[in-house]
Amino acid sequence: MKTKLIILLGFFYFTSCMAQIPDEPMTIAEYPTFYTQTVNKLNNIIPNKANYYGQPLSVFLQALSQNNIIVKKYEPGPFNGAKLLKLSFFWNMDVRKWAMDGNYAEPQINIYFQQPFNYQQAMTMMSTNGYHSYWNPQAENFFKDLVIEKIEFWYVRGLTDNSANPK
């Protein structure tokens, strides 16, 4: 009886964690529209990116929100002394594969911080919170006070432009 109860509780815990990550149904035919809308919104921020240098990440996140840009995925990087955070705008891994297979660009933002963050803690948080790399309040809280050194907007030069030339 205890085993059945533990299995049942484990199932409910797992499904509740997964329920926190919204399903993003999107077809490959819809991706070009998604890309164009996302990049158009990012183009409102790109010319003013230097205004966020020296500011905490929370200020930049607020500007993204005010422009209806929703961060869906994040990836902390050990590169550059654990000062890099990569943000992207969709979660559905099928879409990501389609984008790469179709030679479509995947817009993203690389943010470099003035001080390093605890990379090990960031990775532990990703793997234990039930969200994995889905941007969530816990991740936002972890990074929000870090001061921005530099911002790069990648793959925003056109749907099929995968060149390594950030804005």
The torsion defined by the Cα of 76, 78, 84 and 90, in degrees rounded to 10, comes to -30
The side-by-side arrangement of strands in the sheet containing 73-77 is 73-77, 84-88, 108-113, 148-154
Higher pLDDT, 34 or 14: 34
Q: What are the tens digits of pLDDT across the range 71-124?
A: 999 999 887 788 999 999 876 666 666 666 767 888 999 999 999 999 999 988
